[in-house]
Amino acid sequence: MPTCRVVIADALRALKVIAPGDMAHVDQLNAGMVAIQNVVEELHEARGPLIDVDVSATTWVANENQRCRIQAGDTATVTLPNAVPIFGAYDPYDYQFAGTPAWIAQGSTGAADGVTFRQPTDGARIEIVGTTQGLWFYRADINQWAPAYGLTLDSELPLNARYAGPFGVLVAERLMQELALNEPSPGFAARATRARAQIFNRTGSARQPVRAEYF
């Protein structure tokens, strides 16, 4: 599985900073880690708004694409779900045409039965804010919620492994400026264009339908 160290090495090779088989030095690794963390957080923002939920219960099973807010002075245990509701989820892009539910659905730690619960969507996010902050992406390739904050060199990427190559190109673009390298080669520029299409279109992942706006 792609770790941050592997992605940084791939980015540096794409920029011809290191040759195949060479090791990056400490400064390059540190710059790479900053770039990875920044790109992950920018992708999180680019994927649209989360559903804000104020958690008042002592226990809560989060639903996909929720931001669970623990108010100051409160204590709650938030659990990452194994399954999420098929129906009843709030669509932040619906503009309340379908009506806003009186409750916000929770996820489930039980099995995805395919009737009322399904597996989370690849790339779905859950954020927790309060005394302790956290952000997780769901990786369908390993069936786990992967943390997106506090990444280290040996941490796995919070994105599906199939995005390791395109993600490395986005990291390389940022390192190009920080390492004061020359302008990209035509080959790298073409690879960067393909990488953005793969990362942002995500043709292999199910997503909410896009509806036209007429006002």
Could you report the per-residue pLDDT of 137-194, keeping only the tens digit for each? 999 999 999 999 999 999 999 999 999 999 999 999 999 887 777 777 888 889 999 9
User: What's the mean pLDDT in 39-48?
Assistant: 93
Quote the pTM value: 0.86
Q: Residues 82, 108: contact at Cβ < 8 Å? A: yes
Q: Tokens 């690879």 label which residue?
A: 191
Structure tokens at 23: 């090791």
In 96-203, where does DSSP find H-type helix? 164-178, 186-201
Print burial letters for 79-118: b (CB count within 10 Å at least 16), e (below 16). ebbbbbbeeebbeeeeeeeeeeeeebbbbbeeebeeeebb
